Structure 1
Amino acid sequence: MKLDSKYFDTIRVKRRGPGGAKPKPQTQECAWEGCDKPGVHKAPMGRDNEGEYLNFCVDHVRQYNKSYNYFSGLGDDDIRKYLKDSLTGHRPTYPMGHNATSPNAPKPRRRKRGEPFDMFGETDAAQGRTEARRRVRPLEQKALETMSLQSNASGEDVRVRYKELVKQLHPDANGGDRGHEDRLRDVIQAYKLLKQSGFC
């Protein structure tokens, strides 16, 4: 490489001459009335001017931000509507599924041969069964037996039976007799277990 080549001077970082150095960017003045400090801090202009900003100095941007209200000029209903729409990013939403009672509702599909596990419950719906009974686990069965209920008891049956047993076994109902206290404790624990399991 020749050090005195004409190309060697053009690859320098700072070129010599009047056009070599880049001019520094000009900072705008503070947008606050009567302030001549440089406005280096950006602040939003408002709701109707999205993407536009005002430039303030540090003191005036603090004052502006304290008094800034995005919803100024809007009523309560408009604010509620805006906040509700903001949950979906102000994009339209559409209902999922269909209303089975409407005349335009699609007909239920027949069960396909390739669906051996009946994941969509179409055979139960076709046979008139609206709710499939889940299998009762051993602890739940024991809790039902503690409350003197069958394994096919509904949630309402469990609640009604629990109220009856508490009224019978509570010491206040037996004149202060604490003889049924252990049975009452077992009934309360059984009810709590059934409640946590989703029976009632």
Structure 2
Amino acid sequence: MGEYRAPKGRERLNEYFWFCLNHVREYNKAWDYYAGMSERQIEQHLRSDATWQRPTWPMGFWKTRERTMHDEAMRQYGFHDAGEGGARNGAHDGHGANGSAANRMRTPEEEALSVLDLAPPVDFSQIKARYRELAKIHHPDINGGDKVAEETLKRINQAYTTLKASYGG
């Protein structure tokens, strides 16, 4: 009696032969998923399996594409000249309402630097030193459990985490 299923083939994995235990074991020993494939085809299949048959892109591709799309949208709606990192001296740049850098959205890294009261260019050692300085000042234990100090420290910690990920610290 056929109680055990075995796939009919590589292209028909959801269709089965039904065997008894002894015959399914015999079938499985002889069955080769890669039968009829060249070494190159097998290698391509294994590489595709590593990503669950989904396409992949080089590292950083989506971050770059996302930033490009963001800049294009900002330019289209007149917030800033994204290609130049914002207009200089508040002059009209021909791309928007007034072209000022204040109208453009800041990146998470820019926000984090602002929280730590730092301005680029900075290196990670400067970020770390500033983080430690501010953490000592705003720590709730030093401020008698003050909720404002606690919230400020949370913002400082988040900013540090963002910059640590960005600067690879």
TM range (shorter): 0.3 to 0.5
Higher radius of gyration, 1 or 2: 1
Structure number having the greater strand percentage: 2
TM-score normalised by length of structure 1: 0.35
When normalised by structure 2's length, the TM-score is 0.41
Q: Whose relative contact order is higher, 1 or 2, with alpha carbons under 8 Å and at least 6 apart?
A: 2
